[in-house]
Every structure is written in structure tokens, then in C-alpha cells.
């Protein structure tokens, strides 16, 4: 077969992805983006999701099976049996698991025997506590390769004892730079739709509303910003268990007309085009896709020094200490004061991502790993 660039490729691969879920998280979006490229290049993709429900958009032709696994041992055994039956029927060349629960599940599946090679990808610098590190270590032998999306995350896995240093490598996230790009006409449409006026400065945060993302610290920082920058607005796109607590914090701070909890969104590219500044407030990351997407869109980025941020952004973002609202507020206010950004700065941010993290290049790295392992057990 021939790939899009005309090069002769090896025979199509059958790639089985196992994921903890298919919600609107960064890891899930990465799964969808890679799968889209694999299908475009002529390969076959099936996805086993441990949990029920699909919020992300997948390319046509991808087979999805929901195992509906719960926390009980009987449910896990039933899910393993269903997964094994699917593997025997679909005959994948490789199994690629993402996130801690799916990684342990895929290794247990490999332990049952007769499985194709298993690759396990970790996406967070903190995959869990002592028990999860022990589970990783005890099941390491049933996995052909373990990867992490950042060097900081890889090192954290090694230091926790979850994986031997020689058994885990870095494979970065890929950014769909065609989907995330500057678009002045799209920007005006998106701002009108959001009700953002010409004089307003829109600060955007994208992430699940969970403690690791530390949006409570972001709201505290933005309260300080709003004093000196009254035209600033903050939109937090994402949902999660902290939604009600964050809404109460916004109300208590008197920010109801300046801060919006926008919920889970499928229009993040449009939100990025509408924004003037992107902000990341996380305590824990692996390699934050949202930062890469913002840079690919040409946006100035202010981010905490969570794992993977500096590897991804280099000097194209302003980095502040984790958990420091005053430092984050100061950096945001300074960045807002430097708007509008020169075109050369926008181009530099986009080049930082296109040159190193474009999803097509990352997908080809994965295909090379799959081909290397193909046919092994």
C-alpha cells in the first residue's frame, strides 16, 4: 500500500487500543487523534473501553467495544473473558493500552496467554500511590513496552518503583496542528458566539474539574487579576466532581460576571481561537495536551511548572511555580498587558509544536514501534 506522501508502507496493521474510558480527557483525546491518523494511513483500529460511555469523536470505521467493567473481581473476570474473545476474533497485531487501569487490565489479559505484544502508556506524572506502583512492578513482565508522555513522568515511574529504568521510554503526545491553528475569521465568530466584546480579554483554561488541575488556585489568582484588569474574563472549559465547589468559590469571590464554568466542550479549537491568553493551573500533569493545542493556535500561555510543561512549551510559555496564586496572577497580568501579540511571537509558538509534536510525526513513531513488535508474543 502507499501512504499519503507516496512512500511504500508495510502491510496494514491491526491495532487494538485498550482505554480506561472515552470521556473528554486529554489522554482520551490523544487516543482519538492517533487512531484518526492510523486509519488515514490505511491501518485498522479497534478500541476496548473498560467503562461505558463515549464523549470523544472517533474516525469512521473504528470498532468500539464497551466492557462495562466495575470494581468487583467478578466484573473484571467477565471483562477479561469478553476482551479475550474479541482478541481471538479480531486478531490484532498489537495491543496498546492507555492509562493506569487499562494498563493493568491489558497486562492481565496478556497473562492469560496467546496474546499479541502489549504496550502500556502512562499519561500522568502520578499514576497512583504505592499499591498502583506495586501493581505496575509485579505485572511488568507481561508487557512488551511501557511508555510515558514526558521525561519527568518517566522518571517519576522509575523512582516510585513502578518500572525499571530500562523498561520505560518517552513517547510524547501528538498535537493535531491542522485542527489547532490560528484563524482570525474563526476568532471573530467564536467571540461573538461566546458574548465576548472587542475590548474584553479572554483567558481560557481547559481541563477536568479535579484537584490535580487546581482550578481553585486559578480562581484565586484571577480574583487578583480582575482588580487591575477589569476587562479580563475567564472561561474554564471542562467538567468534573469539583464543579459545585468551584461555582461556590466564584460566587463567594464576587466573580459571577467574570468567570464562567463552561462545562465539557467539543469546540475547544474554537474556544482557543476566541481566547487571548491560555492558562494552566495544574499541580499534576504528564504532558498537557491543552498547552500544546494553545501554542499551536498561536496563543500566549501562562502555566504552572507541572510535569511535562517545560518539555512541551520550552521558552514559548511563561512558567510559574505550582500552587502559587500570586505568581500566577502576576504572570497573567503581565501577559495581558503585552497584548496584542506580534505575529512573529504567534508564529514562534506554533513552530514550537509543529516542529516537534505534530500528531502525524508522533503516529509514525508509534507505527515503527508496532512494526518492531509485530509477530512477537
Digit-coded pLDDT (tens) for 97-138? 999 999 999 999 999 999 999 999 999 877 767 888 999 999
What pLDDT sits at residue 145?
95
| Residues 332 and 203 sit within 8 Å (Cβ to Cβ) | yes
Over pLDDT 90: what percentage of the chain? Answer: 89
Q: How far apart are CA 71 and CA 66, in angstroms?
A: 15
Per-residue confidence band for 376, with pLDDT thresholds at 50, 70 and 90? confident
Per-residue confidence band for 26, with pLDDT thresholds at 50, 70 and 90? confident
pLDDT digits (tens, 9 = 90+) for 346-359: 999 999 999 999 99
Per-residue confidence band for 377, with pLDDT thresholds at 50, 70 and 90? low
What pLDDT sits at residue 25?
85
Domain with CATH 3.40.50.2000 in the chain: 14-174+358-373, 184-357
What pLDDT sits at residue 2?
46
What pLDDT sits at residue 38?
98
| Residues 83 and 48 sit within 8 Å (Cβ to Cβ) | yes
Residue 191 has pLDDT above 60, yes or no: yes
What pLDDT sits at residue 64?
97
Residue 173 has pLDDT above 70, yes or no: yes
Per-residue confidence band for 5, with pLDDT thresholds at 50, 70 and 90? low
* Residue, of 127 and 255, whose pLDDT is higher: 255
* Whole-number average pLDDT of the chain: 94
Residue 257 has pLDDT above 60, yes or no: yes
pLDDT digits (tens, 9 = 90+) for 110-121: 999 999 999 999
Q: How far apart are CA 318 and CA 305, in angstroms?
A: 9
Which string of DSSP letters, residue by residue, matches 305-339?
--TTHHHHHGGGSEEE-TT-HHHHHHHHHHHHHTP
- Residue reference for cell 492469560: 112
> CATH class for domain 14-174+358-373?
alpha beta
pLDDT digits (tens, 9 = 90+) for 309-344: 999 999 999 999 999 999 999 999 999 999 999 999
Q: What are phi and psi of 102, to 5 degrees?
A: -65, -35
pLDDT digits (tens, 9 = 90+) for 203-251: 999 999 999 999 999 999 999 999 999 999 999 999 999 999 999 999 9
Residue 7 has pLDDT above 70, yes or no: no
Q: How far apart are CA 149 and CA 324, in angstroms?
A: 25
What pLDDT sits at residue 270?
96
State mean pLDDT over 271-293: 95
Question: Please, what is the angle between helix 343-357 and helix 359-373, to 10°?
Answer: 10
Phi/psi zone of residue 114: left (φ > 0), alpha (ψ -120 to 50 degrees), beta? left
What pLDDT sits at residue 263?
95
State mean pLDDT over 72-96: 96
Strands 44-49 and 14-19: parallel
Contacts of 276 (CB under 8 A, 6+ apart): 201, 202, 203, 299, 300, 336, 339
Per-residue confidence band for 286, with pLDDT thresholds at 50, 70 and 90? confident
CB atoms near residue 280 (< 10 Å): 27
Residue 8 has pLDDT above 50, yes or no: no
| Residues 302 and 234 sit within 8 Å (Cβ to Cβ) | no
Q: Looking at the structure, give the CATH architecture of the domain made up of residues 184-357.
A: 3-Layer(aba) Sandwich (3.40)
Q: How far apart are CA 30 and CA 24, in angstroms?
A: 10
Amino acid at each position: 500500500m502507499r501512504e499519503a506522501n507516496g512512500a511504500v508502507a508495510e502491510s496494514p496493521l491491526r491495532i487494538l487500543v485498550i482505554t480506561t474510558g472515552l470521556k473528554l480527557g486529554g489522554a482520551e483525546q490523544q487516543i482519538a487523534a492517533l487512531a484518526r491518523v492510523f486509519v488515514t494511513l490505511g491501518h485498522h483500529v479497534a478500541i476496548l473501553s473498560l467503562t461505558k460511555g463515549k464523549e470523544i469523536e472517533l474516525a469512521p470505521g473504528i470498532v468500539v467495544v464497551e466492557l462495562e467493567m466495575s470494581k468487583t473481581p467478578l466484573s473484571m473476570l467477565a471483562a477479561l473473558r469478553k476482551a479475550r474473545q474479541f482478541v481471538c476474533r479480531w486478531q490484532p497485531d498489537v495491543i496498546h493500552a492507555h492509562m493506569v487501569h487499562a494498563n493493568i487490565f491489558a497486562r492481565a489479559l496478556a497473562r492469560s496467554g496467546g496474546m499479541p505484544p502489549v504496550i502500556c502508556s502512562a499519561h500522568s506524572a502520578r499514576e497512583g500511590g504505592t499499591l498502583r506502583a506495586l501493581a505496575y512492578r509485579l505485572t511488568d513482565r507481561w508487557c512488551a513496552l511501557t511508555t510515558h508522555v514526558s521525561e519527568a513522568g518517566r522518571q517519576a515511574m522509575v523512582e516510585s518503583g513502578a518500572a525499571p529504568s530500562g523498561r520505560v521510554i518517552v513517547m510524547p503526545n501528538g498535537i493535531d496542528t491542522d485542527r489547532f491553528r490560528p484563524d482570525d475569521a474563526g476568532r471573530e465568530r467564536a467571540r461573538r458566539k461566546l458574548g465576548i466584546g472587542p475590548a474584553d480579554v479572554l483567558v481560557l483554561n481547559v481541563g477536568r474539574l479535579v484537584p490535580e488541575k487546581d482550578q481553585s488556585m486559578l480562581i484565586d489568582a484571577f480574583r487578583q487579576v480582575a482588580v487591575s484588569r477589569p476587562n479580563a474574563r475567564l472561561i474554564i472549559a471542562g467538567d468534573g466532581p469539583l464543579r459545585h465547589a468551584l461555582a461556590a468559590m466564584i460566587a463567594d469571590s464576587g466573580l459571577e460576571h467574570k468567570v464562567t464554568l463552561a462545562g465539557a466542550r467539543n469546540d475547544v479549537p474554537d474556544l482557543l481561537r476566541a481566547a487571548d491568553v491560555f492558562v494552566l493551573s495544574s499541580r499534576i500533569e504528564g504532558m498537557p495536551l491543552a498547552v500544546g493545542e494553545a501554542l499551536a493556535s498561536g496563543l500566549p500561555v501562562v502555566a504552572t511548572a507541572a510535569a511535562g510543561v517545560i518539555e512541551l512549551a520550552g521558552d514559548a510559555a511563561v512558567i510559574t511555580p505550582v500552587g502559587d496564586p500570586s505568581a500566577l496572577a502576576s504572570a497573567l497580568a503581565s501577559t495581558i498587558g503585552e497584548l496584542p501579540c506580534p505575529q512573529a511571537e504567534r508564529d514562534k509558538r506554533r513552530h514550537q509544536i509543529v516542529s516537534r509534536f505534530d500528531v502525524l510525526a508522533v503516529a509514525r513513531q508509534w507505527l515503527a514501534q508496532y512494526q518492531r513488535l509485530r509477530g512477537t508474543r
